[in-house]
Structure 1
Amino acid sequence: MNKKIQLQDLGHKDYKDTWDYQEELFKEIVDLKIKNRREELNDETPNYFLYVEHPHVYTLGKSGDLSNLLLSEKQLADKGATFYKINRGGDITYHGPGQIVGYPILDLENFFTDIHKYLRLLEEAIILTLAEYNIFSSRSEGETGVWLGVGTPFARKICAMGVRASRWVTMHGFALNVNADLGYFDNIIPCGIRGKAVTSLNVELGVEKVNEEEVKQKILKHFTDLFEAEFENS
């Protein structure tokens, strides 16, 4: 079992280009697994973790409702945003500057074969990271992601999650609002959930800007511990 994960920070990158790149890495792992089974080999499968920041974009999961996008094509263009219907779980979400997006492309057979556990550990990595900023966050029953103020009238989401898995290989991942422009969330019903707000770490801390590189390192530290993994820069 290969618990080494190749870390790649893609910087500021177009959503579609990143999605295509994810698909390439995903296919590489799946094809190797098929070859291993067909030819009775035991070649080690790689794991990847991509960090990226996208230009303004809205994405709709395969089971999502298009009516949760509240903009016309012209309004999207006017806001400098794009829209894609994609192959992850979940409904609609927004990605943009000031948001840390993480795409773990893992062969879960290197770790454990449990998608539910995988999602819970992704959430836990974010919950532990926010705790380092003295922000208490938690899960909301039946709603994937990380929330603040659960059980109060002020429940608000700080991290959205949506994944795809096939043959125990994952893609897509999480989006943590760190210095995000929350106005862009007004154009959707985030994750198809009405009546709940969205927040960002800088808003919760009452500061203009949070050091995003520092947040990334904290996430990796907790991810390493939770998955008993080892990161390598590639």
Structure 2
Amino acid sequence: MNKKVHLEDLGQKDYKETWDYQESLFKNIVDVKIRNRREDASLETPNHFLFVEHPHVYTLGKSGNMANLLVDDKVLEEKGATFYKINRGGDITYHGPGQVVGYPILDLDNFFTDIHKYLRFLEEMVILTLSEYGLKAERSEGETGVWLDVGTPFARKICAMGVRASRWVTMHGFALNVNADLGYFDLMIPCGIKDKAVTSLNVELGKKEVDIDEVKQKLLKHFTTLFEAEMIKEKASI
């Protein structure tokens, strides 16, 4: 079981370019697994973790409802935003500047073969990170992601999640609002969930801006502990 995870921070990168890169890493892992099975081999499968910040973009999961995007192409263009239908689970999500997006591309055979546990670990990573900022974040039953003030009229989502998994290989991941422009969430029904607000870490802390690199380091610390992983920092490939 290879618990080494190759970490790349891509900086700000176009969504489609990053998606294509994810697909190539994902395919490489799957190809190794297929070869191992066909040839009765034992080649090591790699694991990856990408950090990225996207320009304004809306993505719709394969089970999502197009009606949850509340504006047309003209408005998207005026807002400088793009839109993609993609192959993850979940409904509609927004990505943009001031948001920490993480894409773990892991062979879960190297860790544990339980997709629900995988999602709970990603949520726990975010919950533990936010606790370091004095926030009590939690899960909302039946709603993947991380929330504040669950069970109250003030419930608000701070981190969205949506993943794809095939042959126990994962892609896509999480989007944590750190210094996000919350106005962009008004153009959609986030994750298809009506009447619940969205928030950002800087808003919750009453700050103009939170150090994004510090947030990333805290996320990685908890990811490493939860997954018992060894992070190997690499130069960005794209």
**How far apart, in 1, do the equivalents of 2:126 and 2:147 lie?**
10
Q: CA offsets, 1:82-102, max 9 Å, x none?
A: 000000000001000000000
Pairwise CA distance, 1:58: 0.2
In the alignment, structure 1 residue 20 sits paired with structure 2 residue 30: no
Per the alignment, residue 48 of structure 2 pairs with 48
Q: CA offsets, 1:108-132, max 9 Å, x none?
A: 0000000000000000000000000
Amino acid at match of 2:60: L
**How far apart, in 1, do the equivalents of 2:68 and 2:109 lie?**
35
**How far apart, in 2, do the equivalents of 1:70 and 1:84 lie?**
14
**How far apart, in 2, do the equivalents of 1:190 and 1:93 lie?**
6
Pairwise CA distance, 1:148: 0.2
Per the alignment, residue 184 of structure 2 pairs with 184
**How far apart, in 2, do the equivalents of 1:230 and 1:183 lie?**
38
Pairwise CA distance, 1:189: 0.1
Pairwise CA distance, 1:168: 0.1
In the alignment, structure 1 residue 224 sits paired with structure 2 residue 228: no
Per the alignment, residue 171 of structure 2 pairs with 171
Gaps of 5+ in 1: none
**How far apart, in 1, do the equivalents of 2:101 and 2:110 lie?**
23
**How far apart, in 1, do the equivalents of 2:24 and 2:43 lie?**
18
Amino acid at match of 1:109: D
**How far apart, in 1, do the equivalents of 2:15 and 2:180 lie?**
16
- In the alignment of these two chains, the number of paired residues is 234
**How far apart, in 2, do the equivalents of 1:65 and 1:151 lie?**
25
Query: Which structure 2 residues correspond to residues 108-187 of structure 1 after superposition, within 5 A?
Result: 108-187=108-187
Amino acid at match of 1:198: V
Query: Which structure 2 residues correspond to residues 17-96 of structure 1 after superposition, within 5 A?
Result: 17-96=17-96
Gaps of 5+ in 2: none
Per the alignment, residue 99 of structure 1 pairs with 99
Please state whether the residue corresponding to 1:185 is helix, strand or coil.
helix
Pairwise CA distance, 1:171: 0.0
Amino acid at match of 1:208: K
Q: CA offsets, 1:155-190, max 9 Å, x none?
A: 000000000000000000000000000000000000
Query: Which structure 2 residues correspond to residues 2-17 of structure 1 after superposition, within 5 A?
Result: 2-17=2-17
**How far apart, in 1, do the equivalents of 2:15 and 2:149 lie?**
30
**How far apart, in 2, do the equivalents of 1:32 and 1:93 lie?**
31
**How far apart, in 1, do the equivalents of 2:79 and 2:232 lie?**
38
Please state whether the residue corresponding to 1:146 is helix, strand or coil.
strand
TM-score normalised over the length of structure 2: 0.98
**How far apart, in 2, do the equivalents of 1:52 and 1:143 lie?**
24
**How far apart, in 1, do the equivalents of 2:84 and 2:47 lie?**
26
**How far apart, in 2, do the equivalents of 1:133 and 1:105 lie?**
27
TM-score normalised over the length of structure 1: 1.00
Please state whether the residue corresponding to 1:24 is helix, strand or coil.
helix
Please state whether the residue corresponding to 1:89 is helix, strand or coil.
coil
Q: Which segments of structure 1 move beyond 3 Å, counting only runs of 4 or more?
A: none
Pairwise CA distance, 1:215: 0.2
